[in-house]
Each structure stands twice: as structure tokens, then as C-alpha cells.
Amino acid sequence: MLYTGGMNAKPNLPEEIMFGPSYSLRANLKANTWAFVAMLLSWAGDQLLSLPRDWNVAQRAMIALVPLLISLLWVRSFIRWVRGMDEMHRRLSVEACLFATAVTLFVVSTWHILDQAGVFQPGFLPARLHLGSHFHTASFPISLVVAFYFLGYAIFSRRYK
Amino acid sequence: MKNKLRELRATKEWSQSDLADRLGVSRQTVNAIEREKYDPSLPLAFKVARLFKMPIEGIFEDE
């Protein structure tokens, strides 16, 4: 991948958003502010929808989808942040993103298949792993992607040390 | 890919951070190039060549 960014600017570093000695709150906010806003709105939406009010379908859809629309803004800011990295870290980040997406798809698919096969029904493994449980909220695959991004970055960055 | 970046940097008495600032990359990237763990892109190789006023093939050597 060619380096085309501004060469005199201080490049962004992935370590700045990972908890450790290089962590920077400023960098984290630069990359992830919209993700925090989406999480906050998601929580607020859950609270609203749980109120004993007669929301119509359009209102319910709007409340439920606002965090997803906000998360598109997060994707944009994250891409901009990755573009602000130097070429080696950009390559590492893209590899880590691909790893995280692929492994998350694999884990979620496997989980779904096992659940369909009745493995997580009462009497077998813990029933709380069932698809209807809290393990299968929207934040579950998102958390997996973030965790596997960090794992992938740790694995791939060893190649260049 | 072999390179003479470490020797060239030493002649200028620059630290890896100094060189990284001049190239607009991170110190880790300079370290990875010097240790021949990472091959720079063509634009970055040109930038290195211009900085040391040498041809690219005088700095980087294909194995």
C-alpha cells in the first residue's frame, strides 16, 4: 500500500488507542468519539423503548436505528484516522481489521450453528449462551470485532519488530 | 530487502526519531526498515533517497 499522506504531519499510531504506555485520550477521542456517542444513544434508546409508552413503528425504528446511523460517522472518522497513519501502521491496521472481521464472522456463524443444533439448550451447556440471551445483543459482535482487532494487531505487529 | 539506512543515519548523527520526523513516519517504521523487516513503498523510498541525496539503488538493494 502506497504512502500518500502528508509526510510532514505526525502520523497516527494504533498504540495510541490501546491501553498501554502509548495510550492517548486525545487520539482515542479523535478516532472513536462517534462510537462513544453511538453507545450512549443506544443506551438512551433502550431506556426510551422500555418506557410504558405507545410508540408507533416509525418512532421505534427511528429510535433503534439512530445509533447505527451515528456509527456510520464513526466508521468515517476511523477510516480518516487510519489514513493518518504511516504506511506500515496503515498496513498493519488493515490486516488487523480483516482478521477481526473474518474471525468475528467465523465465531458468530459457529455460535449460530451450534445454537441451531440445540447445543445451548437447557440440559446441555449453559443455556445463557442461547441466541435469545444477552450474548446476542448488537454490542456482542461489535465487542468481538474490537477485541479481535487488538489481537490481530498484536499478532501482525510482531512481524515488524 | 537490504538497505544502508542505519549507516546513513549514523553518518548524519540522527536518532531514529529524528529520521522518522524528517520522513513523516513513526520511529517504529524507521526501526522496521533498518532491521529489514519492512520494505518501504516507492514514495517513501524516494523520500529517503532525496533526504540523503543518493539514488534509491544506492540505499536499497534487492536480495
Q: What is the DSSP string of A37-48?
A: HHHHHHHHHHHH
3-class SS at B60?
A: strand
pTM (2 decimals)?
A: 0.81
Mean pLDDT in residue range A75-93: 94
**pLDDT for the residue A133:** 59
Count other C-beta atoms under 10 Å from residue A87's C-beta: 21
- Domain boundary (A63, A85, A107) is at A85
The pLDDT confidence band at residue A6, using thresholds 50, 70 and 90, is very low
d(CA A83, CA A30): 13
pLDDT at A49: 87
Higher pLDDT, B52 or A50: B52
Do A17 and A75 lie in one domain? The reply is yes
Structural class in CATH, domain B2-52:
mainly alpha
For residue A24, what are the domain limits? Answer: 1-85
pLDDT digits over A106-155, tens only? Answer: 998 998 898 888 887 766 666 666 666 555 566 778 888 989 999 999 99
For chain B, give every domain's residue range.
2-52
| Residue A35 CB neighbours (<10 A) | 20
CB A92 within 8 A of CB A99: no
Among candidates B35, A2, B14, A6, which has minimal Cα distance to B51?
A: B14
Residues 11 through 40 of chain B touching chain A, CB cutoff 8 Å: 23-26, 28-29, 32, 37-38, 40
Q: Which runs of consecutive H residues, i.e. helices, occur in chain B?
A: 5-12, 16-23, 27-34, 42-52, 56-59
* Contact yes or no for A160/B28 (Cβ under 8 A): yes
**How many structural domains compose chain A?**
2
* pLDDT given at position A118: 81
Confidence class for position B11, pLDDT limits 50, 70, 90? very high
Q: Do A86 and B47 touch (CB under 8 A)?
A: no
Q: Which residues of B touch A88 (CB under 8 A)?
A: 25-26, 28-29, 32, 38
One domain, residues A30 and A90: no
Instruction: Tell me: do A100 and A156 sit in the same domain.
Output: yes
Phi, psi of B2, rounded to the nearest 5 degrees: -75, 150
> How many A/B residue pairs have CB atoms within 8 Å?
48
Rg (CA), chain A: 19
Q: Is A80 found in the same domain as A138?
A: no
* Domain shared by A101 and A146, yes or no: yes
